[in-house]
Amino acid sequence: MKTRFACLSHWSLCLAAALPLIANAADSVAPAAKPSLTVTVETPRTAALSVKLGARGNLMAWQEAIVGAEASGLRLAKVNVNVGDVVKRGQVLAEFSAEMVAAELAQTQAQLAEAEAEAANAVANGDRARSLRASGVLTAQLINQYLTAEQTAKARVEAQRAAERVQKFRLAQTHVLAPDSGVISARAATVGAVVPAGMELFRLIRQSRLEWRAELTAAEMARVKTGAVATVTTPAGAAVQGKVRMVAPTVDAQTRTGLVYVDLPVHSELKAGMFVSGEFDVGSASALLVSPQSVVVRDGFNYVFRIGADNKVTQLKVTVGRRSDGKIEVVGGLPANATIVMTGAGFLNDGDTVKVVAAPAR
């Protein structure tokens, strides 16, 4: 009996000594961490990305023609156009009352006919005087009188013809014509008004052309070249592309900014006087691009998840830049050769284990 109790005591001591070893062995063969999410991955792509230079400025007429009254003291009888109307070169914009000018023209034409008749008589007398000069029938003084009268009559005819041209010109001035094609931007003409010569009646944006006068600093102006592409954003969000026509040769001494003139095509959303924003294409530079779904925004910061060799993800804080062709530029915080999570990044946390699968074909 004593022997049996001694054996049991020995086995208890052996079992107690073996328990720590069994526990350590169980820890060493713990099961692997289960993946929390199935994801697809990508490697950042390096590509040349155009460099943009933002600016703001006014939209102005390329050239604005002032259409005024040439005739003086005439009553405005008809106004044919209004603000916003598109007109063509030579189109009649307004008409003055022409009765008085027409009457003066008729009077001048009658005086011209009278002067021509008198000139014909004077020419005939001059011809007779020249034919009788050698005969001695007429004195030299009388012959000179006839010849002088002939020259005077001819001069009077030329004067009346000039007066006739003036009256015809005044008659033509009763029709106010568009000096160029374009759109009417202002109107001061009122039917019934008697206007003096030179009074402004209309303003015309020549050829309906507008230009963007972008304000840039001296350093920014040096980066913009004539012929560069510029894109203006309308208040409704439409993008209108133009070209740099000229970079101003001076900079304002007060604001330290200068103007860059951009020719713009005709667009229904662009109006003279608007203050709009835009950007200039000033070249290209190498950029690191990733897919938008790879970038996660948390607490106002941008993050990506880098995958390690054990399929565990590491959260990296990155700085993003421009967007181009469905990609986002990463300016800093991401190595160029890193493998990052693309699909499913928004559901991960730092240290999670993931299962990587191939991205589905498009």
Mean pLDDT of 211-220: 94
Q: 58 with 73, same domain?
A: no
Q: Tokens at residue 32, please? A: 């692997």
Mean pLDDT of 112-137: 88
Q: How far is residue 55's CA from residue 247's CA, in Å, rounded to a whole number?
A: 14
Q: Residue 85 to residues 17, 80, 178: CA-CA distances in angstroms? A: 105, 10, 12
Mean pLDDT of 106-128: 92
Question: What does the mean pLDDT of the chain come to?
Answer: 86
Q: Residue 111 to residues 148, 156, 270: CA-CA distances in angstroms? A: 21, 10, 56
Q: 133 with 44, same domain?
A: no
In a domain, 107, yes or no: yes
Q: 76 with 157, same domain?
A: yes
Q: 46 with 83, same domain?
A: no
Q: Decide if pLDDT at 49 tops 50.
A: yes
Q: How far is residue 295's CA from residue 286's CA, in Å, rounded to a whole number?
A: 20
Q: 189 with 240, same domain?
A: no
- Each residue's pLDDT tens digit, 31-40: 555 676 888 8
In terms of Cα–Cα distance, which of 208, 181, 204 is closest to 89?
181
Last residue of a domain, one of 195, 220, 241: 195
- Each residue's pLDDT tens digit, 179-209: 999 999 999 999 999 989 889 999 999 999 9
Q: 278 with 291, same domain?
A: no
Contacts (Cβ under 8 Å, ≥6 apart) of 348 = 36, 37, 39, 296, 305, 313, 315, 341, 354
Over pLDDT 90: what percentage of the chain? 57
In a domain, 291, yes or no: yes
CATH number for the domain spanning 44: value is 2.40.420.20
234 pLDDT tier (thresholds 50, 70, 90): very high
Model pLDDT, residue 20? 52
Last residue of a domain, one of 283, 317, 341: 283
Q: 121 with 176, same domain?
A: yes
Q: 313 with 229, same domain?
A: no
Name residue, tokens 């155009």: 50
Q: How far is residue 220's CA from residue 226's CA, in Å, rounded to a whole number?
A: 13
- Each residue's pLDDT tens digit, 303-337: 999 998 888 999 999 999 888 778 898 988 888 88
The count of structural domains within the chain is 3
Q: How far is residue 189's CA from residue 187's CA, in Å, rounded to a whole number?
A: 6
- 8 A C-beta contact, residue 77 and residue 191: yes
In a domain, 321, yes or no: yes
Last residue of a domain, one of 261, 283, 305: 283
In three-state secondary structure terms, 43 is: coil
Which range marks the domain in which residue 352 is found? Answer: 37-50+286-356
Q: 70 with 191, same domain?
A: yes
In terms of Cα–Cα distance, which of 242, 181, 245 is closest to 207?
181
Q: Tokens at residue 76, please? A: 């405005």
Q: 113 with 185, same domain?
A: yes
Model pLDDT, residue 31? 52
Q: How far is residue 83's CA from residue 121's CA, in Å, rounded to a whole number?
A: 58
Mean pLDDT of 52-57: 92
Model pLDDT, residue 309? 81
Mean pLDDT of 67-75: 89
- 8 A C-beta contact, residue 208 and residue 265: no
Q: 92 with 186, same domain?
A: yes
Per DSSP, 19 falls in state H
Q: Tokens at residue 143, please? A: 């012959």
In a domain, 16, yes or no: no
The model's pTM is 0.62
In a domain, 304, yes or no: yes
In terms of Cα–Cα distance, which of 82, 58, 65, 43 is closest to 275?
58
- Each residue's pLDDT tens digit, 131-186: 888 787 778 888 889 889 999 999 999 999 999 999 999 999 999 999 999 999 99
Q: Decide if pLDDT at 87 tops 70.
A: yes
